[in-house]
Amino acid sequence: MELLIDNLSKTYSNGVKALQNISLDIPTGMFGLLGPNGAGKSTLMRTIATLQEADTGNVTLGEINVLKQKNELRQVLGYLPQQFGLYPKISAEVLLNHFAVLKGITNKGERKDLVQALLHKTNLYDVRKQNLKGYSGGMKQRFGIAQALLNNPKLLIVDEPTAGLDPVERNRFYNVLSELGEHTVVILSTHIVDDVKELCTNMAIINQGQVCLKGNPLQILENLKDKVYKKTIEKTELPLYKQNYQVISEKLFLGKPTIHVLSDTNPGDGFSLIDAELEDVYFSEIFNDTNFKSN
């Protein structure tokens, strides 16, 4: 099974070009979709999840034309939106059961087993009778993934699932996700580089509605091998460095700015070569695109 996105474009009525000729081949496995806020990730995800119309282009999952055969796609789709709420006065078990029916699991016995299994899987079994109103952010997110898995999806779309989760919850969440990648096309959109680093076998970076980069994280890192240098500087020097070097990121380390620069040769001047991180890739791509206009 493979998800093919071909030349997908979408312009909103207010003129924002959310997607511009996006083409991606997404094989089975975890696929990371990386991009800053407002890059068009959610639009892309929603379009694949049949929740939004595209202006032009094509999306297919195996035999299914995603844009036309919406219901066929929905039968094999698991979707966890970026933001969602829950009915406050209903328990997780009841709501999960409700969604199971909607997804076509109409055999009562099977449905019960499935719901139990998923509640165990997502570690919600002990609180399954509690009203959803009392759920914490992490529990809510785990419930979200539980509902997405109900129909044993062939395509799973999770939109920024780890935003707002504490590290423990995040790990727990990854564990659940990583298991799925074996048989399923999983698209994980995020603006957190670590998410992709830890989970994904393939990835793409999109910015301003366009794909800037796609491929295997390891290969991508290979491209930056021996090109990223680091230096800790004073705050006041920052503009100067920005003028002279291709600064791809700046971070505070113990209160002082640490900059990463991209360079084919060793710039000297106190810079030291480091192993490129995925974050550097990300920042370099974003840098290429925007030239840090906003900074």
Partner 1 sequence: MWYQIFKFEIQYRIKRPDTYVFFLFLFLFSIVGVDFIFQGSEMGLMKKNSPIVIAKTMGAITGIFMILASMIMGVSVLRDFQYNIESLLFSSPIHKKDYLLGRFLGSFTVLLFAFTGILFGMILGEFMPWNNPDELLAFNALVYIKMFLFITLPTLFFGAALFFVTGALTRNLMVVYTQGIFLFVVFMLTKAINNEFWQAILDPFSLTTTTFVTKSWSALEKSTEDLPYFGALLYNKLFWFSLGIVALIYGYKKFNFNVVKEKRSKRKQTVAFKKTTTNDTIVIPDSKKHYGLGSKWTQLKQFTRFYFTTIFKQASFWCIVICGMIIILINSVNLGTVYGVDSYPATYFIVEELKETSMYFFLILLVFYSGELVWKERGAKLDLIYDATPMSSFMKLLGKYIGLNLIYVVLMLALICSGIIFQTVSGYYDFEFQIYFFGFFLEILPFLALYTCIAFFIQSVVNHKFVGIMMVIIFFIANIALGLFGFDHDLYFFGGSALGAYSDMNGYGHFLKPYLLIKSYWFLFGILLLIIGSLVNVRGTETNLVKRLKGSKYRLSKPLFKLASVVCVLFIAIGSYILYNTNVLNTYWTDSQVTEFRVAYEKELKQFEYIPQPKIVDVNLQLELYPATRDYTIEGYYLLKNNTTEVIKSIHIQKLLEENITLNRVSFEVGFTVDNQYEKFDYAIFNLNTALKPGDTIKMHFKQSFRTKGFESGNSNVNINNNGTFFNNTDLPTIGYNRKYELNDEDERKAYILPKRPNKANRNDVNELKNARSGSDSDGINFEMIIGTSKDQTALVPGNLLRKWTENNRNYFHYKMERPMINFYSIVSAEYEIKKDKWMTKDFIPQPVDLEIYYHKKHDYNIDRMMTSMKASLDYYGKNFSPYQYEQLRIMEFPRYAQFAQSFPGTIPFSESIGFVLDIDDEKDVDMVFYITAHEIAHQWFGMQVEAANIKGHLMILETLSQYAAMMVLKQQYAEEKLLHFLEHQKEVYKKGKDREAINEPSLSMVENQDYIYYAKGAINMYEFQKAIGEENVNKAIRSFLEDWNTTNGKLKMTTDRYATSQDLLGYFREVTPEHLQYLVTDLFEKVIPVGL
Rounded to the nearest angstrom, the gap between the alpha carbon of residue 285 and the centroid of all alpha carbons in its chain is: 17
106 binding partner 1? (CB under 8 A)? yes
292 binding partner 1? (CB under 8 A)? no
For partner 1, which residue of 34, 39, 149, 211 counts as binding (CB under 8 A)? 149
Cα–Cα distance measured from residue 112 to residue 63, given in angstroms and rounded to the nearest whole number: 31
The footprint of partner 1 on this chain (CB under 8 A) covers a number of residues equal to 62
- Are 224 and 276 in contact by the 8 Å Cβ rule? The answer is yes
The dihedral sign for the CA sequence 242, 245, 246, 252: negative
- The 8-class DSSP code of residue 277 comes to -
DSSP 3-state assignment of 237?
helix
Binders in 209-248 for partner 1, by CB under 8 A: none
127 binding partner 1? (CB under 8 A)? yes
Indicate the residue among 10 and 260 with the shorter CB distance to partner 1. 10
Indicate the residue among 158 and 261 with the shorter CB distance to partner 1. 158
Binders in 258-287 for partner 1, by CB under 8 A: none
Count other C-beta atoms under 10 Å from residue 12's C-beta.
11
Q: What is the DSSP string of 249-262?
A: EEEEETTEEEEEEE
Which residues, other chains included, contact 219 with Cβ-Cβ below 8 Å and sequence gap of 6+?
none
Cα–Cα distance measured from residue 22 to residue 242, given in angstroms and rounded to the nearest whole number: 31
For partner 1, which residue of 66, 105, 200, 221 counts as binding (CB under 8 A)? 105
- Are 229 and 271 in contact by the 8 Å Cβ rule? The answer is yes
Q: Which stretch binds partner 1 (CB under 8 A): 49-57, 186-194, 214-222, 284-292?
A: 49-57
110 binding partner 1? (CB under 8 A)? yes
CA distances from 247 to 60, 71, 230, 293 (A): 39, 47, 10, 13
184 binding partner 1? (CB under 8 A)? no
For partner 1, which residue of 18, 19, 61, 139 counts as binding (CB under 8 A)? 139
Binders in 58-87 for partner 1, by CB under 8 A: 68, 70-71, 74-75, 77, 79-81, 83-87
For partner 1, which residue of 18, 49, 203, 206 counts as binding (CB under 8 A)? 49
17 binding partner 1? (CB under 8 A)? no
Rounded to the nearest angstrom, the gap between the alpha carbon of residue 291 and the centroid of all alpha carbons in its chain is: 23
168 binding partner 1? (CB under 8 A)? yes
- Are 33 and 44 in contact by the 8 Å Cβ rule? The answer is yes
Indicate the residue among 41 and 46 with the shorter CB distance to partner 1. 46
- The 8-class DSSP code of residue 51 comes to S
Indicate the residue among 77 and 261 with the shorter CB distance to partner 1. 77
Indicate the residue among 112 and 214 with the shorter CB distance to partner 1. 112
- Are 37 and 83 in contact by the 8 Å Cβ rule? The answer is no
* Residues at the contact surface with partner 1, assessed by CB under 8 A: 13, 46, 49-53, 68, 70-71, 74-75, 77, 79-81, 83-89, 98-107, 110-111, 113-114, 117-118, 120-123, 126-127, 130-131, 134-136, 138-139, 144, 147, 149, 151-152, 168-169, 172, 175, 179
